[in-house]
């Protein structure tokens, strides 16, 4: 299936808004249809997740369209205090608009973990360096291994998880986390580390902190010369990664395994666009690669017609 992508909205490209809000929403299912319709009407694309515990997602489109959607959300009593983070994309970073109903807006899979009831202490980006430089602090990256592979805070512990569902078990296995009084956690936009702090509190950790607004807010506000961030930040859209000032990074995505790739990895003989990369080549059969080559052929043909192939 193909879909024509409109030209960037002016010299500034498309506005990207990342948002989440933990709040009790009994009528979350009722919001799906009007929210989907409004986004489509405004030329906005991305993914929004609705659940009893709140909302989570990222959307992009013309600035006026994105702000119309945000205004609609804030007119709902549950989302009146909704905050969001803005960045820009030179091309539309999403293929379609999806508003989905979920059991959790970020899936941890642990019953009775409610950030609306108990959560860690927010730390503003300007205060983050001091906290994570404190020798009494253990810094934990709550993201997954393909995200941490391209960037991480200096001195942070990487759990090497494949999914957020693995995080609770990793914490329970690592009893050494109790050796220091402070736990500081971070993630891309703040949602995973916020839910992780609720879990840590339930596990008996007392001094638990998390980066307000996540890595994205830190990269937006903290000057590069003062930064303790090393590398790029993976984002869940076609930009793949962002740098300080939320400028678009240079990583590309392997369309076979969805792993972000550096220029060196793209130059590898194991890389073939849409087919394989150094991270997944050994895991794929020749039948897999033949199938992926056929898909990539359709993508290339759609591109020549000025369209975007939705199987990309």
Q: Which residues are catalytic?
A: 187
Q: Contact, 171 vs 199, CB < 8 A? A: yes
- Judged by DSSP in three states, 226 sits in helix
DSSP state letter for 4: P
CA atoms within 13 A on the CB side of 47: 14
Say whether 33 sits in a helix, a strand or coil: helix
Angle in degrees, CA 211, 212, 213, rounded to 5? 110
Going 77 to 79 to 83 to 84, the CA torsion angle's sign is negative
Collapsing DSSP states into helix, strand and coil, what is residue 92?
A: coil
* Structure tokens given for 222: 């903290």
DSSP 189: S
Structure tokens at 199: 């879990």
Strand partners, 309: 2
Query: What is the DSSP secondary structure assignment for residue 251, as one 8-state letter?
Result: -
Question: Angle 63-75/28-41 helices, nearest 10 degrees?
Answer: 160
Query: Helix 214-221 vs helix 125-133: angle between axes, to the nearest 10 degrees?
Result: 100
Q: How far apart are CA 88 and CA 105, in angstroms?
A: 24
Report how far apart, in Å, the C-alpha atoms of 180 and of each of 118, 136, 183, 208 are: 21, 5, 8, 11
Q: How far apart are CA 189 and CA 124, in angstroms?
A: 13
């Amino acid at each position: 299936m193909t879909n024509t992508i409109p030209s960037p909205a002016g010299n500034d490209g498309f506005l990207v808004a990342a948002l989440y809000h933990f709040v009790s929403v009994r009528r979350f299912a009722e919001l799906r249809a009007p929210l989907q319709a409004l986004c489509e009407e405004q030329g906005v694309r991305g993914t929004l997740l609705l659940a009893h515990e709140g909302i989570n997602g990222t959307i992009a489109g013309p600035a006026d369209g994105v702000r119309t959607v945000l205004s609609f959300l804030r007119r709902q009593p549950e989302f009146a205090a909704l905050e969001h983070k803005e960045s820009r994309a030179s091309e539309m970073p999403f293929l379609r608009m999806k508003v989905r109903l979920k059991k959790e807006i970020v899936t941890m899979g642990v019953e009775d973990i409610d950030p609306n009831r108990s959560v860690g202490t927010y730390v503003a980006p300007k205060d983050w360096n001091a906290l994570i430089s404190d020798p009494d602090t253990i810094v934990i990256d709550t993201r997954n291994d393909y995200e941490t592979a391209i960037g991480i805070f200096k001195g942070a512990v990487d759990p090497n998880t494949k999914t957020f569902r693995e995080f609770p078990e990793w914490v329970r296995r690592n009893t050494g986390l109790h050796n220091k009084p402070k736990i500081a956690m971070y993630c891309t936009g703040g949602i995973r580390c916020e839910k992780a702090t609720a879990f840590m509190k339930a596990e008996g950790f007392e001094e638990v902190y998390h980066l307000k607004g996540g890595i994205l807010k830190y990269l937006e506000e903290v000057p590069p010369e003062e930064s303790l961030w090393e590398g790029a930040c993976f984002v869940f859209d076609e930009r793949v990664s962002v740098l300080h000032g939320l400028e678009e990074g240079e990583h590309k995505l392997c369309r076979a395994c969805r792993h972000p790739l550096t220029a060196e990895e793209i130059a590898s003989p194991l890389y073939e666009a849409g087919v394989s990369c150094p991270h997944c080549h050994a895991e794929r059969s020749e039948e897999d690669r033949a199938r992926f080559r056929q898909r990539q052929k359709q993508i290339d043909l759609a591109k020549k017609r000025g369209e975007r192939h939705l199987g990309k």
